[in-house]
Amino acid sequence: MAEKTMVNAEGKALADRLKDTREYLGLSQQFVSEQTGIPRSAISDIERGVRKVESLELKKLSRVYRYPVEYFLGSDSDADQASPDDGTVQALARAAGDLTKEDQEEVLRFANFLKHYGRSRGTS
């Protein structure tokens, strides 16, 4: 039973990451459908967690969203790591400390977008 709950939690997390990323990028389900060849109804079902995403579909979605597959699977090992000696990171942390929880989450989403967008263009 615990294993099934963990699988469901992982599936829900994947569905949420896919939906949040699509919405953050301002893409419609119809646009994503046209770019990937995945029916719009399937994208909706995947994002609601009522349908599992196939590996090839995830790869297509990853390409359109310009995020690595590992991000959606929750296994992007260096996603939230930063050097504590980096003055810029410390300044960002201080500035973020004065923001609301929602604004902090938005800054984190944007930072992850910039990080992964840069990778997709061949930069670090």
pLDDT in tens, 63-104: 999 888 988 988 755 444 545 556 777 777 788 888 898 988
pTM above 0.85, yes or no: no
Where is average pLDDT lowest: 3-12, 40-49, 104-113? Answer: 3-12
Cα three-residue angle 24-67-72, rounded to 5 degrees: 85
Taking a C-beta distance cutoff of 8 angstroms, is the pair 64, 27 a contact?
Answer: yes
Q: How far apart are the first and last CA of the chain?
A: 41
CATH of 2-73, one of 3.10.580.10, 1.10.260.40, 3.10.20.600, 3.20.20.220: 1.10.260.40
Domain boundaries, the chain: 2-73, 87-120
